[in-house]
Amino acid sequence: MVKAPYYPIIYLRGYAATEGEMRKTVATPYMGFNLGSTKLRQDYRGNIKRFIFESPLIRLMKDEKYVDAYANGDFVEENKKVPAKSVWIFRYYEDDETVGEGGRKTIEEWAVELRKFILRIRKQVCMGSAKDRNNFRVYLVAHSMGGLICRCYLQNICRYGIPAHLDDGTLKPQIKPIPSGEVPFKTHMVDKAFTYGTPHNGIDIQGINVPDWNDPLDVSNFNRDRIREYLKIPADQPANSLMEAFPARRFFCFVGTNYEDYHAFLNLSKKGVGPMSDGLVRIKNAVVEGAPRAFAHRSHSGDYGIVNSEEGYQNLRRFLFGDWFVDARLHADAITLPTKIEEIRKKHRNKFKGSYNIESSLCVRGGQYYLHERKCSQWSADLQPYDRFVKDKHPAYLFSTVLLNNARPNGRKSNEPLVFVLKLEIPRPLYEVDRKFWFAEHIEGGSGWGEYITFYIYPNRKNPIQYGFGAHVAIGEADTTPDLAQNADGSLQAIIPLESPPGSFFKGSIELTIRHWNT
């Protein structure tokens, strides 16, 4: 039976550059989705203890009772039924030169193959049931370039139809072009998409977008003009736009921020991309416009990669199966500038420049991981210019996360709240005057503004939100109930005023929005 939120999961791996990497890829059954990791930590006596993350695949099997789609050395035969709670690997590299079928396919060709793959899954899951066919959806979970194939399927194939030169007659009924507006779910059959480290806005090496040329390694797939071409995006629109082909709310971007532990391509990509990246993809390029996102100090791949991380899995599980969707934004009501800087700003505005690093981290009760983390020390803090953040009152996006009722200590039926803690900090910045750092009255490492804020979400209450500041109650406790407003889409919104102790330069508030998810 096909019933939300338990749909088949399709995993698409990332880019393989050389023929050797492609052969290594197709020689593995799960193409990276089976890889886990082990961390070390100390107990109270100083003894070393292991923390083992088994892998996304095994955890889905243990936590959500999913099964893989293999049997007798291959996918389950097409005339056999497969449960909806199944994991499928889109083995697109097997159609390339590694198994003797000719040269590498284009992104467009792989997107057409994904369409065929989804139809095959629908056939085996539904087995002729009209009700199941009507309810059928899949989840797309992709690493790196796999996310661009997903977008090509959603934004090109499902909107404009399959190009005549790629139609081999096996896809019936054919997708008809849809001139504008959001593509119906029944056309693309995708409920949600989740990407790990996908270069949605291309790859930049030493600040230059990779070129668009006919190269044997297909690096041009990460050129922004080429991305616009295979996604059917106009030249005047950003390459990381979904163009309303799929709801941005249902497209989650998980972003890595550890550039130092990525060692592919003889470290050339890491050295060329540098900080504020996962070693290959710049932070700013790893997101889709308007889509929810979270950040983790993980590299693009490898032993410290984002796919084989507890942080990545927890975001994936909650996004697919969670119950409460939470968005947070930070508003700057006022920022007090140093006296001399304020004088310069008033008299010579064009000589004054200032920005603020916003550090944020998010954890849930009982979790040994961060669902989200951005820090200056990890080159991942959110930099907000003074004019945009303060003068124009444009809020800073902090994070999106989904809370899971089943993850509470006593499960879904418990009356206990869902609990998460936000650590928020704004260090004192260095200002620039006439293109030079202004050091007068600056104290390096001087206290800026910071606070721990605990949030409770009570699923069964009319006003489900409570919060508490670590400066007043213990971290993990909440004692204040905010006023709520209901938005037109049914979501609930609370404005949390932030306290500013004496000497603090920042006054602001958090805009917290929550909505039911998967209901």
The angle, 0 to 180 degrees and rounded to 10, between the axes of the packed helices 310-321 and 56-64 is: 40
- pLDDT tier at 458 (50, 70, 90 boundaries)? very high
Please compute the mean of the pLDDT values over residues 61-78 and round it to a whole number. Answer: 94
Using alpha carbons only, how large is the chain's radius of gyration in Å? 24
- Taking the C-alpha atoms of residue 272 and residue 403, their distance in angstroms, rounded to an integer, is 37
Q: Do 496 and 508 meet the contact criterion of CB atoms below 8 Å apart? A: no
- Taking the C-alpha atoms of residue 499 and residue 510, their distance in angstroms, rounded to an integer, is 11
Q: Give the model's pLDDT for residue 296.
A: 96
Per-position DSSP letters for 316-362, written without gaps between them: HHHHHH-SEEEEEEEEEEEEPPPHHHHHHHHH-GGGEE-EEEEEEEE
Q: Give the model's pLDDT for residue 204.
A: 92
Most confident of 282-291, 300-309, 459-468: 282-291
Identity of the amino acid at 15: Y
Please compute the mean of the pLDDT values over residues 404-427 and round it to a whole number. Answer: 84
- Nearest by Cα to 372 from 298, 291, 482: 298
- Taking the C-alpha atoms of residue 89 and residue 112, their distance in angstroms, rounded to an integer, is 16
Q: Give the model's pLDDT for residue 100.
A: 44
Q: Give the model's pLDDT for residue 172.
A: 62
- pLDDT tier at 97 (50, 70, 90 boundaries)? very low
- pLDDT tier at 447 (50, 70, 90 boundaries)? low
Q: Per-residue pLDDT for 477 more than 80?
A: yes
Q: Per-residue pLDDT for 290 more than 80?
A: yes
CA 296, 56, 69 angle in degrees (round to 5)?
Answer: 150
**Mean pLDDT (the chain, rounded):** 88
User: Would you mind telling me the total number of residues written for the chain in this entry?
Assistant: 519
- Taking the C-alpha atoms of residue 37 and residue 53, their distance in angstroms, rounded to an integer, is 5
Q: Sheet with 293-296: list strands edge to edge.
A: 67-68, 86-89, 9-12, 138-143, 190-196, 251-256, 293-296
CA 399, 241, 491 angle in degrees (round to 5)?
Answer: 45
- Taking the C-alpha atoms of residue 252 and residue 327, their distance in angstroms, rounded to an integer, is 12
Q: Give the model's pLDDT for residue 99.
A: 46
- pLDDT tier at 486 (50, 70, 90 boundaries)? very high
More confident residue, 47 or 399: 399
- Nearest by Cα to 299 from 260, 265, 267, 253: 260
- Burial (Cβ within 10 Å: 0-12, 13-18, ≥19) of residue 195: buried
- Nearest by Cα to 35 from 258, 219, 415, 305: 305
- pLDDT tier at 408 (50, 70, 90 boundaries)? confident
316-358 pLDDT, tens digit per residue, is 999 999 999 999 999 999 888 777 777 777 777 677 778 889 9
Q: Give the model's pLDDT for residue 412.
A: 62
Q: Do 29 and 70 meet the contact criterion of CB atoms below 8 Å apart? A: yes
Domain 9-321 matching CATH 3.40.50.2300: the answer reads no
- Nearest by Cα to 258 from 315, 326, 311, 305: 305
Helix, strand, coil percentages for the chain (3-state, nearest 5) = 25, 30, 45
Q: Give the model's pLDDT for residue 480.
A: 95
Q: Per-residue pLDDT for 206 more than 50?
A: yes
Q: Give the model's pLDDT for residue 268.
A: 59
Q: Where are the domains of the chain?
A: 9-321, 324-516
Q: Give the model's pLDDT for residue 185.
A: 80
Return the minimum-mean-pLDDT range out of 57-71, 237-251, 343-357: 343-357
